[in-house]
Structure 1
Amino acid sequence: MYSMWLTAQEQQVWRMYLTVTSLLQTAMHRQLQQDCELSLADYDVLVALSERGPLRINELGETLGWEQSRLSHQLRRMRGRGLLERRDSGDDRRGASVSLTDGGLAALQTAAPGHAELVRSAVFDGLPPEQLAVFGEVLESMLQRLRR
């Protein structure tokens, strides 16, 4: 049976995790805004579409782990800026898909080098291969529990 509270060690690790994720999100957002005027949400959508090609909107939402309302607003803003296009599938609104435009691909190509460098320097530099493997295993375990 679990205690109602975290142990001292769990609390320390949890607080560090929250601080790291907050600082990393802020750094990524700042880098993307400075380099190419994209938000982190813009970048997440562009990456998902570049890796998987055109996606039905519900599939994109599942890929990103976003709720429908957040995704709808994000896609509307990105369409307005010419980063992606939406194609309807006849009368079935569930069949609508989105894909990158040339402008979206260009924005991603501008953003990616600086983003990769930031992530590498903040997360991966200095991690020996065995720690990287364990880090990956921990994250995979967390993802599996959260997806249940």
Structure 2
Amino acid sequence: MKLRGFEVISDWQDKDVHLPQRQTGASAGYDIEAAADCVIPAGGMVLVPTGLKAYMQAGEVLTLNIRSSMAVKHQLMLANSVGIIDADYYDNPGNEGHIMVAMVNMGEEEFIIHKGERVAQGIFLNYLTADDDEAGAGAERQGGFGSTGKGE
């Protein structure tokens, strides 16, 4: 039984996408690469494709965090500070669970991210729910990126 990990989405199987790896035994984060070249204009935001999806157990989440070298050296940040990939994002009908990294360029010049460049770190975490939580009784996720809570 698979517990947690990464897979390449079907549309990107032939595009030389690498599965994320931890770089040392004590690293918390799995380094996630850009699956294509992207240009982020000065002051602009781009969704960087990874070609990946992540699977995990109920009660777990994958957080996306900027690599410190991208932030410090290149003035980049994640648009949402920390990305949240829910367990039910995996294989959703909207986009198969494709993980996109929303990056903002805080610099004064455009920045080019090259295919294969490590742009984020993914960290699997457990989370807690409140006593009166009823989300488990709700509808299943139907959409892709940013789809929870639509229609409310």
Higher strand fraction: Structure 1 or Structure 2?
A: 2
Instruction: Give me the TM-score of the superposition, normalised by structure 2.
Output: 0.25
**Which of structures 1 and 2 has the bigger CA Rg?**
1
The alignment's TM-score, normalised by the length of structure 1, stands at 0.26
Bigger helix fraction: 1
